[in-house]
Structure 1
Amino acid sequence: MSDFAIIPAIDIKDGRCVRLYQGDYQQITVYDRDPVAVAQRWAELGAQQVHVVDLDGAKAGRPINAPIVFAIVRAVNIPVQLGGGLRDQAAVEAAINLGVARVVLGTAALRDPGLIGRLVASYGERIVVGVDARDGWVATAGWTETSQMRADELVRRMGALGVQRIIYTDIARDGTLQGPNVAAVEALVRAGGPAIIASGGVSTVDDLLALARVGAAGAIVGRALYTGSVDLPRALEAVRRLQHNVG
């Protein structure tokens, strides 16, 4: 079993660390007013990387919170992954110049696959594609639009372009603490291709272990960490034990 990463999510809106319910900008919970301090806390508790989402950028279609992202990169000594509003080469290059380790593109993967191919040629594994699904169909533009593309087909196409990592989000589970869609993740893993990082619905350590068992490369965890239903150090230790026993 390959290493399974538990990746804390830091979602930024109006300069604050928040979580949305099923991607709904009208159903928002503010967890902290200092995203930089939050990133430092996760790093101190053992996180190997953090996943930052510029929610304002996702909605606007262009990066909005670059100064905060830059401050996070400078404040922690672990890789920072960034998504939200990165829809052209200039935005991706600007993000990489901020010092982020990986950039996540979602809407662009559906609308401009040629761009993904060019970015992968330039930046390799630093290009990650987010596949956000509602009932199996890809959603775009900050989840405000649902496409006519099936999620598994988009994953296949991105793999053909050389994308090495996919973040798969089941929108119906996101921010709900109802458990991840393990079956959907397992189906994507079994199809072969890019590594699958699950996002949405994780509420317990058992959820993380279930994802690890079906071969996910990791999970992005948001609300469960902020509410305390998942304790990061304990979760990291549980995953280590599982991998040791399986290995």
Structure 2
Amino acid sequence: GLKVQTGGGVRSRDDVARILDAGATRVVVGSVSVRAPETVIGWLAEFGPERLTIALDARQADDGRWLLPVHGWTETAEDTLDVLATRYAQAGMAHLLCTDIARDGMLSGPNIGLYQHLATLLPGVA
């Protein structure tokens, strides 16, 4: 009866399939979600939105936009969090894992403002 969600190093369709075949309930898809959204949107259609969690690490810019750092947080993706998360929601995303990397590991608690913003932006996404 244990339900497992797992991820890390998921780069291909075969990675997703292997994890699900091993018994995981859901696969967390991180970096590839930012780098190759069309690929991950295809996985949402193939495996179903209940089987994937889209993970988007974000950092707020001085102008208030939420940017998506990639490649060990050393580069910034072209799309913002709002643009990419909305795109995934329109494609059927059911689960989003979003981390404010400026606060992660800093013992300052969650960024409630970010999560309120996402709840407003993406109604129905857990």
Shorter-chain TM range is 0.7 to 0.9
The question of whether the paired residues in 2 share the 8 Å contact of 1:116 and 1:161 is answered with no
Question: Letter of the aligned partner of 1:113 in structure 2?
Answer: P
Please tell me the residue identity of whatever aligns with 1:189.
A
Residue 170 of structure 1 corresponds to: 100
The equivalent of 2:76 in structure 1 is: 146
Equivalent-residue separation in structure 1 for 2:2 and 2:71 (angstroms): 28
Q: C-alpha deviations, 1:36-58, integer Å up to 9, x for none?
A: xxxxxxxxxxxxxxxxxxxxxxx
TM-score (norm 2): 0.85
Segments of structure 1 that go 5 or more residues without pairing to the other structure are 1-76, 197-247
Are the aligned partners of 1:107 and 1:140 in contact in 2 as well (CA < 8 Å)? yes
Residue 79 of structure 1: how far off its partner (Å): 1.0
CA distance in structure 2 between the partners assigned to 1:192 and 1:117 by the alignment: 16
Offset at 1:142? 4.5
Structure 2 residue aligned with 1:35: none
Q: How does 1:184-195 map to 2 (within 5 A)?
A: 184-195=114-125
Read off the aligned partner of 2:114 and give its amino acid letter. Answer: A
- Give the Å deviation of 1:179: 1.2
What CA distance in whole angstroms lies between the structure 2 residues aligned with 1:147 and 1:106?
13
TM-score normalized by the length of structure 1: 0.45
Q: Distance in 2 between matches of 1:141 and 1:193?
A: 29
| 1:179 matched to 2:103 | no
* 1:141 shift after superposition: 3.5
SS for the counterpart of 2:92 is coil
Q: Percent identity?
A: 35
Quick one: structure 1 residues 87 and 171, their matched pair in 2 at CA, closer, same or farther if it must change by over 3 Å? same
- C-alpha displacement at 1:138, in angstroms? 0.7
> Unaligned stretches of 5+ in structure 2?
61-65
Runs of 4+, deviation exceeding 6 Å: none
Relative distance call for 1:144 and 1:160 in structure 2 (3 A) is same
Tell me the distance in 2 between the aligned counterparts of 1:84 and 1:145. Answer: 19
- Radius of gyration: which is bigger? 1
2:60 pairs with 1:130: no
